[in-house]
Structure formats: C-alpha cells, structure tokens
Amino acid sequence: ATQILIGFVVMVTPLTGLVGADCGCALGPRGASVCPAVSSSIDAWASPSIENDRLVGFSVAMATVPAGQYTVGTDSPQLPSDGESPARLVRFRRPFRLDTAAVTRGQFAQFVRATGHRTDAETAGESFVPDILVDAETFSDPVVVPGRVANAPWWLPVRGATWRRPAGPASRKSPLESSDSRFRHPAVHVSWRDADAYCRWQGKRLPTEDEWEAACRAGLSDRLFPWGNAPRPGGRHRMNIWQGEFPRLNTADDGYVGTAPVDAYGPQNSFGLYNMVGNVWEWTASRWDRNSAPNELPQRPAASDEMTKKGGSFMCHKSYCYRYRCAARSQNTADTSSANIGFRCAIDVADSD
C-alpha cells in the first residue's frame, strides 16, 4: 500500500556519502556520537515459549477524564494550514478513561504473542526511520536503506524496521538503551490499523481527537502544553523533542535522541498523563479534516484514509515541526508506520463504574 509520511508522498532518491560521519548523524556534547547503533533482535519477546510478563516494564494504568465541557482548538494557531483553529467547546456527556502512557514495546509484545498479529510494517517489509538513529552499518547497505524521502531527506525507508527493531535490522545494541529500558519505550512502527487492533484486543479503543486534546489540557482552556505555557518551566525539560539544530544536530539536552521511556519526566498534567506531547506522535480515532476535528468514531478506515495524530514527537523542533502543543495536529494514512508514531488507548466509563 502507498504510505504517506508527514504529509509528503514518499519517493526515494539515491543515497550519497555512505560512510559513518556522512550518515546525517551529528556530534553531540563533547564530541560524542549521537548516531546510535540499533537494538539487537527481540523476536523472543513475542515467542509463546518465553515468559515475558515481567518485562512489560510499565503497569497498565488509566486516568479518568470527567464528563463536562472542555475547550479544544485555538484562536492563536501556530500552523493555520493544519486546521488548529478555532477554539471551540465540546461536551462529554459521560466520563472516559485514557491510558496514562503510550503502549510500550513490552505490552505490544504480549499482544503479538497472544494473537500472532503481524504489523503493516512487517507486511510491507520496511518502515521509516530518521537518519540520526540509523547506524553506519545499516545506512551503508543499499539493500536495507535504498534511498531517502524526497521532500524530507532526514527520513529513510529502512528494510526490516519494525516494532521489534525500531532502527533496522543491524545486530548491535544501542549504547543509549539498556536491555531493561527497551520494554518501557513506546511501541513504534505501528500503523493506525495496528493500534486499533491492539486497543480492541484490550477491550478498549483509540481516543477521538477531541478526547485526546481535552485530556492533554486537563480541563484548562488556555494552555499550550499539558502543564502550562512555558516549554521549560523552571528551566526543567518536561518533554522529549529535538534539541539543537534541526536536522543536523540533536544535542540531547533533554536526555534523549530517539524515544524516551513512556514514564520519562513524570506526569505532564493534573490528570497524571505521561508524555502527551513530545516523544511519539499518537494515533486518534478521528479522520483527518483540516476544517474541523470530527468527534465521531469512524467506520474502520481504508489503508489510504488519512487519520489524525496528536502530540508531536522527538523529531519536532520549533523551526520544523512546532506540533508538540495540545492544539497541534497532523495526519498520516491508516497504513503508515514510522519510528516516531505510537498510541495509547481509551475506554468508556460504564454507568455502574
């Protein structure tokens, strides 16, 4: 199926400069490389013969979003073409619950082990990875990395990149990632269809865009970020976004080059939600519409249908992708996957709860 990445039609151009320092990675503080090797194969996670319940690494918890009236959207859009405006009131007649954190790789492994689910990335044989995360060994193999995305050359289609191997099939393990922490990072390289399948397996669903944004703001109407309007309150990092000069240098001042554990930085708002903005984009149940944010749950979309995602990711920088705000939004087709898209689930609260 045709995949769309960050609004660009995917076309690849020939690779040039296929040696270590030219891979698009940069030098971080004190000259340390921030072009990590990738994790070793973790196929055993999904093996029914391996007991891996203890490796989930982050308990499944849900926060309750009360019924009532909430403000979503903004009258001061930073990216008007994304349909961020206007600010409007929505009302939830019943409360709902939202996962406090994005679904982890360990949790997704349990789903695969129980159901045998095969992701769209696995079926397609490739997924998208930012070049700063691809090690020189992987990058220099033209079979594994056949080119770049034409209008976003920092993105590479990588053969074998999946939720098991987020940066591709190289055998070395990232020095930035311990074996235990891998299970606490968000599941990525999951399409909308994969996320929907996981939530259904859990007896849950994806949140609508309005639900997601209301939860992000925790009931406050004038708020850029889950905690307020300062990107670094008290000089403290509260989210994982691109630090430095995009796309050449990520200084990792916030502690991470790629994804962070799902519980990094502590809860971002009074609802106790982690990493609502930054770290990874999150799928919602809403179809994409630049003129409004449909709140109804859609019929199951076709692979080419565009679905709304929220929250921004570790790839976002104010000069490139200022979408790490509660009101910000973007879209991808339902079969798209990449190293910076994850999800969390929601569930309706029954009258008896």
Dihedral angle of Cα 14, 17, 23, 24, to the nearest 10 degrees: -80
Helices 192-201 + 105-115 axis angle, to 10 = 70
> What would the mean pLDDT of 257-270 be, rounded to a whole number?
95
CA dist 142 → 64, 123, 153 (Å) = 48, 20, 16
Question: Residue 257's pLDDT is what?
Answer: 94
| Structure confidence at residue 349 as a pLDDT band (50, 70, 90) | very high
Q: Given this model, what pLDDT does residue 204 score? A: 97
Q: Which residue has the tokens 């994790």?
A: 39
pLDDT-based confidence at residue 136 (cuts at 50, 70, 90): confident
**Residue-wise pLDDT tens digits, 301-323:** 889 999 999 999 999 999 999 99
Q: Which residue, 193, 138, 132, 186, is CA-closest to 160?
A: 138
Judge contact between 343 and 200, C-beta under 8 A. no
Out of 31-40, 43-52, 92-101, 224-233, least confident range: 31-40
pLDDT confidence tier of residue 44, bands split at 50, 70 and 90: low
Peptide bond into 166 cis (omega under 30): no
Domain ranges of the chain: 62-348
**Residues belonging to the chain:** 353
3-state secondary structure of 33: strand
Is the predicted pLDDT of residue 48 greater than 80, yes or no?
A: no
Q: Which residues contact 5 (CB under 8 A, 6 or more apart)?
A: 128, 149, 152, 155, 332, 336, 338
Q: Is the pLDDT of residue 52 over 80?
A: no
Looking at residue 227, what is its pLDDT?
Answer: 96
Residue 248 confidence (pLDDT): 87
pLDDT for the residue numbered 17: 28
Residue 49 has pLDDT above 80, yes or no: no
pLDDT of residue 293: 53
Q: How would residue 133 be classed by pLDDT, with cut points 50, 70 and 90? A: very high
CA 97/CA 186 separation, integer angstroms: 19
The strand pairing partners of 338, in sequence order, are 128
DSSP code of 114?
Answer: H
The DSSP-derived string for 192-240 is: HHHHHHHHHHTT-BPPPHHHHHHHHHTT-SS-SBTTBS-SSGGG---S-
**Looking at residues 170-175, what average pLDDT do you find?**
45
d(CA 329, CA 322): 10
**H or E stretch including 107?**
helix 105-115
Mean pLDDT of the chain: 82
Q: What is the mean pLDDT of residues 263-278?
A: 96
Note the pLDDT of residue 332: 96
Residue 182's identity, in one-letter code, is R
Give the model's confidence band at 268: pLDDT under 50 very low, under 70 low, under 90 confident, else very high: very high
pLDDT band at 353 (very low <50, low <70, confident <90, very high): low
Kindly tell me the burial class for residue 216, based on how many C-beta atoms sit within 10 Å of its own C-beta (0-12, 13-18, 19 or more). buried
Rounded distance between C-alpha atoms, residue 222 and residue 73, angstroms = 10
String of DSSP letters for 115-175: H----HHHHHTEEEEEGGGS-HHHHT-TTT---EETTBTTEEEEET-SSSSTT-S-SSPPT
CB 188 within 8 A of CB 343: no
Side chain identity at residue 341, one-letter code:
I
Pairwise pLDDT comparison (299 vs 206), residue with the higher score: 206
Instruction: Note whether 190 and 343 are within 8 A (CB).
Output: yes
What pLDDT does 8 receive? 37
Q: Give me the CATH code for the 62-348 domain, please.
A: 3.90.1580.10
Least confident of 9-13, 24-28, 246-250, 275-279: 24-28
